[in-house]
């Protein structure tokens, strides 16, 4: 345990070893059929199977408990665990509000599905983007850090005090409809176009997408936070994007990028 200023409440306290991705969700990455069942860690230069988690001293105990109570615990129970995916079952059993003809994107009214807690789901997603903004996290030799600039303080006050997000920020939640969602956690670099910055995080069958800046009326209308029906989406596309972003590193070793080298640690 270390002392320091908690990034959420800003008070100097003993700090806990905080996880970037929840500890409980790592079990979905384990492959018990392998001699070494630990999850695979992949960076631009290293591939290793080990039980290491992405964690550092960031939050005090009170703020850790706040994160756990307002979102993390619920998500850990309802996300893909490797054996069950309660959130997916609840969503796919409901009646969609958009056409189900195209499995790449089907909308559901999350606020009208009793088993789905959109408040906790959105809170957890916002906490992931905020964590990546306020701290530099390391995965092997790879840095996870996506500063959100002027939006960071608004997200902190939402997480700590429950203050509402304004119309410069939207968040959408996407659920994989696959029986076995792509088994990896990843955070993509920020993308900015036409005055809108987009951040995406994938984990345990769930994708969170944050849009900041000059968001459109359509973004607000279909937002998982701002819309009255709290829309949530079933999307094969987002699961494919997660798979693609993970496999890019594997494909580099085949000679697509000859300046890139892979070190396999057993």
Q: Are strands 169-175 and 231-234 parallel, antiparallel or unpaired?
A: parallel
Distance, in Å, from the CA atom of 259 to the CA atom of 42, rounded to the nearest integer, reads: 17
Beta strands in the chain (DSSP E): 2-5, 12-19, 40-42, 46-49, 55-60, 106-109, 137-139, 142-144, 169-175, 186-187, 191-193, 196-203, 206-213, 231-234, 263-265
pLDDT digits (tens, 9 = 90+) for 83-95: 899 999 999 999 9
Q: Helices marked H in 85-226 — which ranges?
A: 86-92, 118-134, 152-161, 217-221
Q: Is the pLDDT of residue 99 over 60?
A: yes
- Span 89-117, average pLDDT: 90
Average pLDDT score over the chain: 84
pLDDT score for 256? 40
pLDDT digits (tens, 9 = 90+) for 24-59: 887 766 655 555 455 555 555 555 555 667 899 999
pLDDT score for 49? 52
pLDDT score for 34? 55
How many helical (H) and strand (E) elements, i.e. helices and strands, does the chain have? 7, 15
pLDDT score for 251? 59
pTM score: 0.88
Q: Is the pLDDT of residue 253 over 50?
A: no
Q: Is the pLDDT of residue 75 over 80?
A: yes
pLDDT score for 26? 78
pLDDT score for 248? 65
pLDDT digits (tens, 9 = 90+) for 143-179: 889 999 999 999 999 999 999 999 999 999 999 998 8
């Amino acid at each position: 345990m270390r002392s320091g200023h908690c990034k959420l409440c800003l008070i100097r306290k003993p700090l806990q070893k905080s996880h970037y991705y929840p500890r409980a969700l790592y079990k979905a990455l384990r492959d018990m059929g392998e001699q070494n069942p630990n999850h695979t860690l992949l960076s631009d230069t290293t591939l290793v199977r080990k039980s290491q988690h992405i964690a550092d001293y960031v939050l005090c105990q009170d703020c850790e408990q706040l994160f756990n109570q307002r979102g993390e615990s619920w998500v850990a129970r309802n996300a893909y665990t490797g054996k069950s995916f309660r959130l997916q079952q609840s969503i796919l059993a409901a009646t969609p509000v958009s056409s189900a003809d195209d499995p790449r994107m089907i909308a559901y009214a999350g606020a009208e599905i009793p088993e789905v807690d959109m408040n906790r789901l959105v809170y957890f997603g916002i906490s992931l983007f905020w964590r990546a903004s306020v701290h530099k996290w390391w995965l092997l030799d790879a840095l996870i850090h996506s500063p959100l600039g002027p939006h960071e303080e608004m997200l902190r006050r939402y997480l700590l005090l429950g203050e509402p997000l304004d119309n410069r920020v939207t968040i959408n939640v996407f659920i994989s409809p696959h029986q076995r969602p792509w088994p990896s956690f990843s955070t993509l670099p920020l993308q900015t176009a036409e005055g809108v910055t987009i951040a995406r995080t994938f984990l345990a069958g769930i994708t969170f997408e944050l849009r900041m800046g000059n968001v459109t009326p359509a973004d607000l209308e279909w937002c998982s936070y701002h819309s009255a029906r709290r829309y949530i989406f079933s999307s094969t596309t987002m699961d494919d994007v997660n798979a693609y972003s993970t496999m890019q590193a594997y494909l580099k070793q085949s000679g697509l990028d000859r300046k890139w080298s892979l070190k396999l640690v057993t």
